[in-house]
Structure 1
Amino acid sequence: MLELSDGQIGSWVGSFLLPLFRIASMLMLMPIIGTQLVSARVRLYFSLAICVVLVPALPEMPTVDAISLQALLWIAQEILIGAMLGFTLQLFFQVFVIGGQIVAMQMGLGFASMVDPANGVSVPVIGQLFMILVTLLFLAMNAHLVVFEVLAESFVTLPVGGGFLVDNYWQVANRLGWVIGAALLLVLPAITALLVVNLAFGVMTRAAPQLNIFSIGFPLTLVLGMVIVWIGMADILAQYQVFATEALGFLRAMAGA
């Protein structure tokens, strides 16, 4: 009959389950994998697979009593660290979603919403277009591999049981302002062009009051807005590289990697 001591159980808990909580919490919140497109069961299986691969290369984990208060505190700390890393990546993706929503409101497509299968909410179609585009660029440039590398390094820089880093969470809260500024910078050319179009319609209304601007203004603004978005796609790769570099650098700074 197999008999296990308390020390063996504590060693297994420290070496496998504690890293699993950090990995699983990050995968539950990060973009692409943490969306509703991937079921929670698949995310859990994926977390187990990553944990099995990472555990042999991780530093020695502390031994802890599996049913003690200290184990619960360490589990809560690992969940918070993983959630912090996943939410940091969500901020990067929301830059493009907010930028698309701003452009959609300016060109009159704010009412044209569709269900976002990733988040389960209705968003303007331009925001959904930008979301699909940034997802494809994120995977094509192997940024997800950089994320997993940072996750593995976080076990060295933020060891299990190494303390609670409150300052890192305040940095994530302060990062919310960067999302709005980056979204405005992303769509600033489109907003400026659409503003010129709207000013031109205003001048036309004053010059020719008999002209029914409401009958021609909306479809013309919509067509010109789509042309402006299409032209602006030529520069979105350069903007993506700048924002992705800054976001992944911030992710490394949060993990201390």
Structure 2
Amino acid sequence: MNSTVSAIALLTLRIGPLFAIAPPFSQINVPVRIRITLVLGLAAALAPVMPSNLPQTDGAFIASAACELILGLAIAFSLQIAFASLSFAGRALDVQAGFGLALVIDPGSRGRAPLLGTALTMGAGMIFFANNGHLEAVRLLASMANVLPVGQSSIAGSPEMLIGYTSLIMGIGLSAVAAAVVTLFLIDITIGFLSRALPQMNALMMGLQVKAIAALVMLALSAGLLGPVVLRLLRHAFDYTASLATQ
């Protein structure tokens, strides 16, 4: 097999998962042919300018292909965790505000998703593209291609790194809805005191209505927090992805 073709094939396995399964790219209904063309174009652009140590036998090529695919899945996984933190935060707010039974169809996965969680992840996707996150992702792939030549990929990391990254990302994601969560918690305490003072009051029905309105109002007032939170999530995601590269 030609060396350039081999390099492009291996790079496709590294780049492909990012544009196939990682948000926000997976949230966009782009035809499969366009995704494949984009991945092949990036691989063809990177292959001639990067160092390589291509395998010489079929067995070594299959092993290298498996390593490249694992690396590509690890890159996609870092972004998935970042967006999953916002989905988790939105789901927690859904339950607390009484929207737990309200599900919508995610346009990317075409599956059922939480109401506020979907709104947060879609907003994060718009912020991602508005701040040239897609270009940053391409630059990251190019720099990793120089650090990890195709054909000799390895992943530096440990369970401790993954646990630390996940806990950090989840904490940052929850900060996007922190104001609304604290407000709903205070409303719950107030309704609890009122239900003890006025037993005849229907605390459940009143609480659902008040909390639903309060959640929407607080989300509107704290909407400006989403941008900085998303940018922090993306920065940590890209930093974690870069830390996976080793010689």
State TM-score, norm by structure 2: 0.89
8 Å contact from structure 1 (residues 84, 169) kept in 2: no
Q: Which has the higher contact order (CA 8 A, sep 6+)?
A: 2
Displacement of 1:138 = 0.1
**Quick one: which amino acid aligns to residue 243 of structure 1?**
L
Displacement of 1:13 = 3.9
Counterpart of 1:149?
A: 139
8 Å contact from structure 2 (residues 19, 39) kept in 1: yes
Structure exhibiting the larger radius of gyration computed from Cα positions: 1
Q: Distance in 1 between matches of 2:82 and 2:19?
A: 15
Any idea what SS the aligned residue of 1:167 has?
coil
**Quick one: which amino acid aligns to residue 54 of structure 1?**
L
Runs of 4+ in 1 over 6 A off after TM superposition: none
8 Å contact from structure 1 (residues 20, 51) kept in 2: yes
State TM-score, norm by structure 1: 0.86
Counterpart of 1:101?
A: 91
Residues 1:173 and 1:72: Cα distance change in structure 2 (over 3 Å) = farther
Counterpart of 1:3?
A: none
Counterpart of 1:131?
A: 121
Counterpart of 1:26?
A: 18
How many equivalent residue pairs? 247
The 5-angstrom pairing of residues 66-85 of structure 1 reads: 68-85=58-75
**Quick one: which amino acid aligns to residue 215 of structure 2?**
G
Counterpart of 1:240?
A: 230
Any idea what SS the aligned residue of 1:211 has?
coil
Displacement of 1:163 = 5.0
Deviations 1:6-51 (A, max 9, x none): xxx2424433222222122332222132357234333212111112
Match of 1:213 among 196, 199, 203: 203
Give ranges in structure 2 of 5+ residues lacking alignment. Answer: none
Any idea what SS the aligned residue of 2:25 has?
coil
Counterpart of 1:224?
A: 214
Counterpart of 1:202?
A: 192
**Quick one: which amino acid aligns to residue 22 of structure 2?**
M
Residues 1:81 and 1:40: Cα distance change in structure 2 (over 3 Å) = same
Any idea what SS the aligned residue of 1:97 has?
helix
Displacement of 1:172 = 3.7
Give ranges in structure 1 of 5+ residues lacking alignment. Answer: 1-8
Q: Distance in 2 between matches of 1:128 and 1:140?
A: 18
Deviations 1:37-68 (A, max 9, x none): 23433321211111222222222452523xx1
Displacement of 1:174 = 5.0
Counterpart of 1:37?
A: 29
**Quick one: which amino acid aligns to residue 245 of structure 2?**
A
Q: Distance in 2 between matches of 1:44 and 1:61?
A: 25
Deviations 1:137-178 (A, max 9, x none): 000000111111111111111122325336367734653333
Match of 1:188 among 154, 161, 178: 178
